[in-house]
Structure 1
């Protein structure tokens, strides 16, 4: 290590010259004073830190704009009338902004792709609307038992909705797999769906059948065509079964509390979401030796005058969910 002095205006300052050369380099290298090296290290760390903060910064979503020019709006490739015209937008068109502005111009995203610049005075910022209401969450088809008498079956999941029917204690219902804030949607055997307060339902292991006959299936008082028809259920309706199957006929529970039999030929047992309930029994199959009489075929003998499921004159009022 050698030390030399250099005259700077009468001041003699020592300069340390290292003779330890790096591989492949020639000449001598000047060592950097510790204070100077430290200052550069701090500056570099600050730069890295600022970049790190910037990389984690939350970027606000760009606003949307509606064109308020009655005659339409011409847009350009740059922020000024000197730039080339790149398209036009009709009055009322809503476009997304990029978040960039330049003077009195705003950059927007064109409906068919790409970006353009438009005079800010012809754009009105669109306020974001309320978030969409959550859709009913599907939970899986299952059979439920009504746990108390006088529970209302309603057209919507609230106590102000119209009453479709008043349910009996112990009655079975097939859910559609939709729930909403303490309510369960169930299939109505007369057609359509209804809602029941979930606190009055208990999940069961009963089978659930979907009507696959077209336009539906006859439900009879007993297991055979000789029995009186008590209902006609349309295609795709879900019905809970009691678990009883006789000679190819399954016993079903209707929404009005009555039970009846329908030919398994026109029913398909669904896969159920039973939660902690026992595993479903294997789907029943029709007795090979018993073939449903053609007279029971819904295509040949549908009965539109089957008993309807009308609500009572003075329906009971169930306790609101959560109270």
Structure 2
């Protein structure tokens, strides 16, 4: 999924936190009461503490304008708030309440729960149904969440600590055992068919399958719905729109796992799709020279590939078995913010957020062997999609330049605050500011060296 891991809470620089210095000329918003579920907005940089007083340890911080959820009333000048699922405290005079964003139902004081789901990856929880909304917290893989039945596009509303939030439907499943489902056979869709995260229309739509698509079934049904395995997760479709063949009882074959047989390279910027035609949804975009695993299966000029462990398709004409020579094309960027040498063969830098520029320029000046750089691209659920990430390609990554990638990853880790880094991925390991105490954590196999980040260092910013 390109795992989304932005931190909500970022302690501001020493000397600017409320309670440490006097902020002259600033109008602070006193807060005497704040009900559970209300949003609080920091009126200045302020510490978050483990208890209601300055004698308690600092456990985080809010920058001016950042929001956080209240967990109860303000008492003695301190308000309990939710920090990654933990109860911590903020000085009430440095935050202001906003009941516009109150999550609990204003009429009943409670939220109707229609079911539960489980996260299939580390998952950002947001205040609204889009990546433009702030991240309230991050849930670990395998976390159970309560569903309200409300959806918006590819987003699902959940209830947590009495408040309503939104998560990407793609990373939810109604099976606690995902993403390793047991499969029993296949069926075929008889019309364009919505795939949902649970067995009713109240659950969010994950994707839509075209008529005639083969799906892998698990043998589980519920109230007119059939459970299927899709991209390693358990999903649901309406049983009435599935056919096992001619309508007679048949023995369905056991589905085989999707594995690659060889590695190929993109000859140009090319879309990766959910099926073998341009009518299928775009999952991500490969850049020139980017490698991907192929299964050997083809269909009408399309090659089946493995992207992040899932079966996907790429137009065969844009794949080659040998790595193309580096492109000499320079990406046109009108503001000249990037070093000229970094633009050769790069794609998507011109639409990245400003924090990406100093990262690229520093890496290019310190390690000129690196490149090209890949910034913004179509990849729903990824920081690349909204320009907050860059992939820095490492030539000869498996031999002579492995130490270069190691050095870049270590440098960005050590200077994460300076460059506003959220997380770094290198050689199938991830390090994030939010979980810095855990060090570099291993990641699951996504099916190719590129998807596993062996040939490039990925960095996301806040």
Q: Structure 2 length as normaliser, TM-score?
A: 0.22
Larger Rg: 1
Q: Structure 1 length as normaliser, TM-score?
A: 0.30
